[in-house]
Each structure stands twice: as C-alpha cells, then as structure tokens.
Amino acid sequence: AQKITQTQPGMFVQEKEAVTLDCTYDTSDPSYGLFWYKQPSSGEMIFLIYQGSYDQQNATEGRYSLNFQKARKSANLVISASQLGDSAMYFCAMRDENDGGTSYGKLTFGQGTILTVHP
C-alpha cells in the first residue's frame, strides 16, 4: 500500500520569498509518479508539477520545482518568489502502477499543507 505524508499543517512565507513544502512517500512499487496540486479556497484542484520515479532530473515548472530525493523517499515542492495568489492548500500525491491490484493507478493524497503568503 502506498502512503503520502505531509508533516506541515500550515506554512507562512513573506511575499517574494521562497518556501519549501515537505512531502515523503512510501511505496514498494519501483515505478511511480509524484504530483503536486494546489487547491485554492474555491475548491478546484490545480495541477502544478510532476516527477516520475525514473526521471534523472528534478522537475521544474516556472516558479515551481520539485526536490526529488529518491533514496530518502521525499518529494518536496519549492515555490520561488512567492506571490499573494499562492495562498492555498497544497497536496502532494502519488500514483503507482499497481496498488495491490485493486485500484491500480489510484492517485493517493497527503493531508495537505495550508500556505499563507504575507505581504
């Protein structure tokens, strides 16, 4: 069974500063994908960035980068130059190829981190 852990219930950052949101995972499958989603108060789930387990380089998407440390099973999200609009809930999620053969391909979420950006 897979498991995603986000240990930071809430984080605060000053506008224009960088912030790191932590995520650790556990899976026995060698092939998996890691995702970060942003969920503003409106409720929609917005895809931010993806990292495959076999990817050699850390993923980057604009101001978002993923610090992937496979041996430590961590996939931290780094947001550079924070903006007020970045205030939201952030979810780390994982999808592997065969989750016990029942819900294979299922996307499992961590508990989320609420990020607040101060002006």
Partner 1 sequence: DAMVIQNPRYQVTQFGKPVTLSCSQTLNHNVMYWYQQKSSQAPKLLFHYYDKDFNNEADTPDNFQSRRPNTSFCFLDIRSPGLGDAAMYLCATSRDQGILIYGYTFGSGTRLTVV
Residues that bind partner 1 (CB under 8 A): 31-33, 35, 37, 42-47, 50, 52-53, 89, 91, 95-97, 102-112
| Separate counts of helices (H) and strands (E) for the chain | 0, 12
Distance of alpha carbon 43 from alpha carbon 59, whole angstroms:
25
In whole angstroms, how far apart are CA 28 and each of 6, 32, 41, 112? 19, 10, 34, 22
CA geometry: angle 16, 21, 22, nearest 5 deg: 155
Residue closer to partner 1 (CB basis): 12 or 47: 47
Of 17 and 61, the one with the shorter C-beta distance to partner 1 is 61
- State in angstroms the smallest separation of the CB of 71 from partner 1: 20
* Beta carbon of residue 61, minimum distance to partner 1 (angstroms, whole number): 12
Smallest gap from Cβ 14 to partner 1, in A, equals 24
By C-beta, is 14 or 116 nearer to partner 1?
116
